[in-house]
Amino acid sequence: MPKSIKDWYHNLGIEGSMQIAGIVMVVPAILLLLMLLVAPFGYIIVASFIEKGSQGFSFGNYEWLSNPLFWPSLKNSLIIGVGSVLLEIIIAVPLAILLNQKMYLRGLWRALITLPWAVPTIAVAGAFLWLCNPHYGVLNQVGLEIGLLKEPLGFFGDPSLALLSVVVAHAWKGLPLVFIIVFASLQSLPEEQVEASKIDGAGKLRQLQYVILPHLKTSIALAAVLSGAYNFSLFDLTFLLTGGGPAGLTMGLPMLEYNQMFRSLNIGRAAVIGITIFLSCIVALSALFVLMARDRAKRT
Q: Are 93 and 182 in contact (CB under 8 A)?
A: yes
| The predicted structure's pLDDT at residue 12 | 55
A 10 A CB-CB count for 93 gives 21
Check residue 36 and report its DSSP letter.
I
For the cut 70, the answer to whether the pLDDT of residue 193 exceeds it is: yes
For the cut 90, the answer to whether the pLDDT of residue 92 exceeds it is: yes
Burial class (CB in 10 A: 0-12, 13-18, 19+), 286: exposed
A 10 A CB-CB count for 11 gives 10
| The predicted structure's pLDDT at residue 300 | 66
Would you tell me the crossing angle of helices 121-131 and 138-145 to the nearest 10 degrees? 30
Q: Under 8 Å CB-to-CB from 64, ≥6 apart: which residues?
A: 70, 269, 272
Q: Cα separation of 110 and 100, whole Å? A: 10
pTM of the model: 0.83
Q: Cα separation of 215 and 187, whole Å? A: 11
Q: Report the candidate in 282, 286, 283, 256 with the shortest Cα–Cα distance to residue 271.
A: 256
Q: Cα separation of 114 and 108, whole Å? A: 10
Q: Cα separation of 232 and 257, whole Å? A: 13
Of 115-119, 134-138, 272-276, 289-293, give the lowest mean pLDDT range. 289-293
Q: Are 167 and 231 in contact (CB under 8 A)?
A: no
Amino acid at 225: V
- Average pLDDT score over the chain: 85
Dihedral sign for Cα 153, 157, 159, 165, please: positive
A 10 A CB-CB count for 98 gives 11
Of 24-28, 69-73, 237-241, give the lowest mean pLDDT range. 24-28
Burial class (CB in 10 A: 0-12, 13-18, 19+), 63: exposed
Say which residue, 64 or 15, is predicted with more confidence.
Answer: 64
| Average pLDDT, integer, range 105-111 | 81
Q: Give the count of alpha carbons within 13 A of 146, CB side only.
A: 6
Of 17-31, 65-79, 127-141, give the lowest mean pLDDT range. 17-31
Q: Cα separation of 192 and 213, whole Å? A: 16
| Concatenated DSSP letters of 191-233 | HHHHHHHHHTT--HHHHIIIIIHHHHHHHHHHHHHHHHHHHHH
The winner for highest mean pLDDT among 33-37, 167-171, 232-236, 258-262 is 167-171
First and final CA of the chain: distance in angstroms? 51
Q: Give the count of alpha carbons within 13 A of 214, CB side only.
A: 13
For the cut 50, the answer to whether the pLDDT of residue 1 exceeds it is: no
| The predicted structure's pLDDT at residue 103 | 76
Q: Under 8 Å CB-to-CB from 229, ≥6 apart: which residues?
A: 81, 280, 281, 284, 285
